[in-house]
A and B are shown apart, each in its own frame.
Chain A
C-alpha cells in the first residue's frame, strides 16, 4: 500500500509540479496513474521512490515513511524509471547481479529468478552482452527484470509499456495481474487509455499537479452519468480550462 498525504512539490520555487496531492494506492489492485504531459506523474513517482523530496506532505510505503526510514521503505518497492538507458556499460547479467546484491537476494534465489524472468521476457540470449547493445524494448525489459529480482511487494512503473513488443507487453500485464491478485500493489503511469481501461482496477487522473479523479472506471462512469470510454472521459476532464 502506498499512502500519499497532502504532498506538494515545486521546481525552482516557481512551477508547482504537484499541488496538495493525496492518494491511497491499496493492496491487491492495479492502480493506473493518468494525466496529460507535464501533469506531474513522474514527479509524484520520484517523490514516492525517494528521488526527490516533497516540499510538504508525507509518503509511506507499506507503512514505512520514505523520508524517515528510506532504506526500509526502498526495500518495499521495485521501481522502473521512464528512461531505460541506464547501466549501459554493464552486461545484462552483471546489472542483475548488482541489483540482487543491493537488495540482498540469496544466491540460489537470484539464479532461480534470473532464469525464470529471462525466460518470460525472452532475454536469455542477451544476458552476456552489454546493455548498450540492447534495443529500447530490451533495455526496458532488463530494467524490469532488475527490479523484480527481489520480488518487491509494491511495483512502481513509470510508463512501462512504451516500447515493449506485443508479447512482452502481454507478459508484463499478465505479471502485473498476478502480482495484484496475490494481494500486493501495482502502481503505474501510462498514456495508453485502452490499456488502463482494461487492466486497472482503479485509476487516478491528475492535471497540473492536482488530483481530478480517483476511483474505478465504473465509479467514473457513474460519476459523470455517461457510458463513454475512458478516453472520452479523460479528454473531457483534462480539457476543462
Chain B
C-alpha cells in the first residue's frame, strides 16, 4: 500500500514534468495551484451549468421530478469519466515513458496498476468536479439538503468515477493487448487530444446555447418525463451502478438512501478488485508488447526516390523540416498547429450560440459611417495580436529542439537562414488563424470586404510582430532541458511572455487610435506604419544580434 502511494506520487510528479533538481521554491505552490487555476478557468462554464440547472430544477420541482437532475448528472459524469478515461488510461498506462523503467523494478503488478489507477483517478476527479460540483451544490441548495446530504455527496463524488474508470481501463487493456494500436502511438495521441478539445468545445457550445435560450418548462417536461424517460435511461443505463448513487443522493433522509450508498460502495470495491485481477493477466502482457512506432519496412521504389529527393534551398528545406516535426509530434500538433485553427472556432462559438443572426453587418456599416472604422481596425489588430501572440510556435521554436539544438550548429546553414525559417513557420501558422478569423468576420459578422482587406494587411503585420518577439524571447530563454516534448511547449513560459508583450502592444495601439481619432484611413496608416516599423526593427535585431545570441546558446 505504501509502495503504491509512493509510486503514485512519483508518477504524478513525472506527469507534471518537474524534476527533483528543479527550482525548489516553486514546488509547493505549483502543485496546489494547478487545480485552482483550472477551476478558475472553468468557473464561467460551471456557473453557466449551475444556472441552467437552477432553471431545470424550478421547472421540474412542481412535478416532483427534480431528482432526475441528479440522475442525469451522475449518469453523464459516469459517461464522461469513461470517455476521458479511455484517453487518460491509454496515456498513463501505456504511452507514458515511465512504463519501460517500471517493468524491471521489483514491483508487483498490483502496485503498478494501483498507482497508475490512482493517478488517472486524480485527473478524473478534476474533470468530474467541473460537472458534478455545480450539480450537487445547486441541488443541495435548492432542495435545502442537510449536512447528511453533503456527506453523501462527497462520498458519491469520490466513488463515482471508479467504476467507469475500471471499465475504461479494462477496455483499454483489451484493446492494447489484441490490436496493433500501440504501434500507432503518435496518431492515437493526436486524434485523442483533438477529440478531447472538440468535445470540450462542443459541451461549451451546448451549455451556452441552453442557458441563453432559456429552458422551456413544457418542452423539458415532455422530454424528460412524458417521454419514456429515454434520455435518463440511456445515460444511466450505461452504468447501472450510478442509479444507486443517484438514489442515495435523492433519499438521504431515509434508510433506503443509506442502503443504496452502501450497495454502491460495495459494488465499486468489488469491481476494482476485479480490475486488479484482470489487470494482472492483461496489463503486463500488453505493455511488454508495446513497440515504439509503426514501420512498414518496404523497399523504396525508384519513383519514390526520384519524387522525394527533389532539391530545395536550405531555407525551404528547413521550413519543411519544421512543419513536418510540428505536425507529427502530438504535443506540438495540439499546442501549436491545432490551437491556430481553434482560436477562430473558440471565438465564433459565442457568436454562433447567439443564433448567428445578429445585426453585426449593419453594426459595422454604422461604425464605418460614424467614423469609428479606425476603432474597428484597432480592435481587429488587438485581436490578431492576442491570438497570434498566444500561438506557441514561434516562442518555442528553439526550445523544441531540446538536446538536439547542437545539430543546428554543425550543419552548414547560416544561423539567420535557420532563424528566418523558424520565423516563417510561426508566421504561416499564425496567418492561418488570421485568415480564419477574417472568414468568420465575413460569414458570421458580415463585415464589409474593404474592411476585411485592410484587416488582412494589418493582420499579416501583427502576426509577424508576434512571431518576431516570440523567437527573440526564445533566443534569450530557450528551454532546452526537457525529456518529453510535452514540456517543451506546455511548460514553457516563453509563450506566456510573448502573449503578454503582444497584449501590451495591442492595448497601446488601441488607445493611440482612440486618442488620435483620425478616421478609418488615418488609423489604418498609423497602425500599419507603427507595425511595419516595429517588424522591420525586430527583423534587423533578429538577423544581426539574433545570430550572435544563437551562437551563444551553450548546452
How long is the Cα–Cα vector from A123 to B477 in the complex, in angstroms?
Answer: 39
Contact A111 B305 (CB under 8 A): yes
**Closest CB in chain A relative to B300 CB, distance in Å:** 5
Given the complex, which residues of B lie within 8 Å of A90, measured CB to CB? 321, 324-325
Cβ of B406 within 8 Å of any chain A Cβ, yes or no, is: yes
The residue in chain A whose Cβ has the minimal distance to the Cβ of B552 is A53
The stretch of B40-48, B238-246, B310-318 that contacts the partner chain:
B310-318
| Contact pattern, A 80-110, Cβ under 8 Å of B = 1, otherwise 0 | 0100011101100110111111111111001
The stretch of A31-39, A126-134, A160-168, A222-230 that contacts the partner chain:
A126-134
The residue in chain B whose Cβ has the minimal distance to the Cβ of A106 is B311
Contact A89/B297 with A74-B410, A94-B308 known, Cβ cut-off 8 Å: no
Contact B407 A81 (CB under 8 A): yes
Given the complex, which residues of A lie within 8 Å of B308, measured CB to CB? 93-94, 97
Contact A100/B298 with A50-B410, A52-B554, A94-B324 known, Cβ cut-off 8 Å: no
Contact A129 B295 (CB under 8 A): yes
How long is the Cα–Cα vector from A221 to B348 in the complex, in angstroms?
Answer: 79
| Contact pattern, B 414-452, Cβ under 8 Å of A = 1, otherwise 0 | 100000000000000000000000000000000000000
**Closest CB in chain A relative to B489 CB, distance in Å:** 14
Given the complex, which residues of B lie within 8 Å of A85, measured CB to CB? 404
| Contact pattern, B 272-314, Cβ under 8 Å of A = 1, otherwise 0 | 0000000000000000000111111111100011101111111
Contact B313 A101 (CB under 8 A): yes
Which of A79, A87, A89, A124 is most buried by chain B, counting CB atoms within 10 A of its CB?
A89
Overall SS of chain A's interface: helix
Given the complex, which residues of A lie within 8 Å of B404, measured CB to CB? 85-87
Within 8 A of B (CB), among A1-37: none
**Closest CB in chain A relative to B356 CB, distance in Å:** 40
Contact A51 B314 (CB under 8 A): no
Contact B300 A127 (CB under 8 A): yes
**Closest CB in chain B relative to A204 CB, distance in Å:** 21
Contact A93 B300 (CB under 8 A): yes
Contact A128 B309 (CB under 8 A): no
Given the complex, which residues of A lie within 8 Å of B293, measured CB to CB? 130, 132-133
Given the complex, which residues of A lie within 8 Å of B317, measured CB to CB? 97-98, 101-102
- Residues of chain B whose beta carbon lies under 8 Å from any beta carbon of chain A: 291-300, 304-306, 308-314, 316-318, 320-321, 324-325, 328-329, 404, 406-407, 409-414, 551, 554
Known: A101-B311, A102-B411, A133-B293. 14 other contacts (CB 8 A): A46-B406, A79-B410, A85-B404, A89-B328, A90-B324, A93-B305, A98-B317, A102-B412, A110-B311, A124-B300, A126-B295, A128-B300, A129-B295, A133-B295
Which 10 pairs of residues, A with B, have the shortest CB-CB distance? A101-B317, A133-B295, A74-B412, A49-B410, A129-B295, A89-B328, A51-B409, A51-B406, A133-B293, A127-B300
